[in-house]
Amino acid sequence: MRQLHDLVRPNIWRLAPYSSARSEYSGHEAHVFLDANENPYNTLLNRYPDPLQTEVKQRLSKYKQVPPECIFLGNGSDEAIDLVYRIFCRPQVDNVVAIEPTYGMYKVCADINDVAYKPVLLDEHYQLNADRLLAACDKHTKVVWLCSPNNPSGNNLQVTEVEKVLSRFDGIIVIDEAYSDFSTVPTFRRRLAEFPNLIVLNTMSKAWGCAAIRLGMAFADKEIIGLFNKVKYPYNVNQLTQRQALEELDNIEAVEKWVSLILLERKRMLQAFKELPVCKEVFPTDANFFLARMTDAQGIYDYLVGKGIIVRNRTHIKLCNDCLRVTIGTKTENAELLSALREMQA
């Protein structure tokens, strides 16, 4: 790995972060708050939230088995994705390399930050070839984006190929593990000490059923997390989100039950789709969704919309011609989708 100093944008390395009112008295007990120009009324909502989400990180640390100082919390994973560009990539100078197809926000954030985005096509099984990906990197490549389980394909990338990238690329490597709770493959989050250039993303939107609260996570070496905290906006995670996250962390048994139910339904749906005349192929998945190649993805998508059933049409994405991405819903929702598709044959 190149020295962190050499990877970070010079202006970010020199940046003096905003000093929030809530961080300046850190380490002391207080009960009268006259520092932040807050309204003294409307208790519970009138105070600014903890800018570093200390209590949430301490609870997450026990569950995720990562030290609190190695955890960043953001307004969804998208905030962490954007911060990677703002911290490491100089506009119009540096570039990033990513697999294709994959989650679209990596490219959107590259475009927003005026950073060149270099996609490397996966093979026909949606698998990574480390040699091809590394060949696309040059001296200005600061970041490599990997997503495993990948979106929209749903499959885990082969661990051996990911390890090749981790051991041979000297910049920042981001592995987005948003769907890892639905997979049996060990998470790279447990290997942060082994790879100091690694950032692992996760979220409460998927397995935890909390897409509405917008809480994303990044796990990395504490120096990298320090840079995230330096650049982020002071109160990026609101008090309502922090409070709800703590409640959800008391509800782990329910989360585990939801994951089990989704995995059972996933198995049933994969088999059912394979038997549909309108389905040509169902791809293996390690996520809470699957990709299926249909006889006419656009026509089937339009038909389902007309019945009030929404799936994701991915036919215009590379390697996904005539493919629909289907999220695993409740047993009732899944049955309605299957019934509608079977009616097409009547």
Computed on alpha carbons and rounded to an integer, the radius of gyration of the chain in Å comes to: 22
Q: What is the pLDDT of residue 132?
A: 98
Reported as a pLDDT band with limits 50, 70 and 90, residue 28 is confident
CA 256 to chain centre: 19
Q: What is the pLDDT of residue 24?
A: 73
313 to each of 50, 135, 143, 274, 301, how far by Cα in Å?
Answer: 40, 31, 29, 18, 6
pLDDT digits (tens, 9 = 90+) for 275-288: 999 999 999 999 99
pLDDT digits (tens, 9 = 90+) for 191-225: 999 999 999 999 999 999 999 999 999 999 999 99
Average pLDDT over residues 100-104: 98
Q: What is the pLDDT of residue 27?
A: 65
Question: Which stretches does DSSP call E strand in 148-298?
Answer: 172-176, 198-203, 215-220, 279-282, 289-294
* Distance from C-alpha of 103 to C-alpha of 125, rounded to nearest angstrom: 17
Q: Are 311 and 303 in contact (CB under 8 A)?
A: no
Q: Are 195 and 162 in contact (CB under 8 A)?
A: no
- Specify the domain boundaries for CATH 3.40.640.10 within the chain: 4-251
Reported as a pLDDT band with limits 50, 70 and 90, residue 29 is confident
Please give the CATH architecture assigned to the domain spanning 4-251. 3-Layer(aba) Sandwich (3.40)
Reported as a pLDDT band with limits 50, 70 and 90, residue 66 is very high
Reported as a pLDDT band with limits 50, 70 and 90, residue 92 is very high
DSSP 164-179: HHHHH--SEEEEE-TT
Whether 346 has a pLDDT exceeding 70, the answer reads: no
- Side-chain-side CA neighbours of 251 within 13 Å: the count stands at 14
Reported as a pLDDT band with limits 50, 70 and 90, residue 30 is confident
Which CATH code, of 3.90.1150.10, 3.10.420.10, 3.90.320.10, 3.30.930.10, is assigned to 253-344?
A: 3.90.1150.10
Q: What is the pLDDT of residue 193?
A: 96
Average pLDDT over residues 35-40: 94
pLDDT digits (tens, 9 = 90+) for 146-164: 999 999 999 999 999 999 9
Strands 289-294, 312-313: pairing is unpaired
Q: What is the pLDDT of residue 302?
A: 98
Whether 58 has a pLDDT exceeding 80, the answer reads: yes
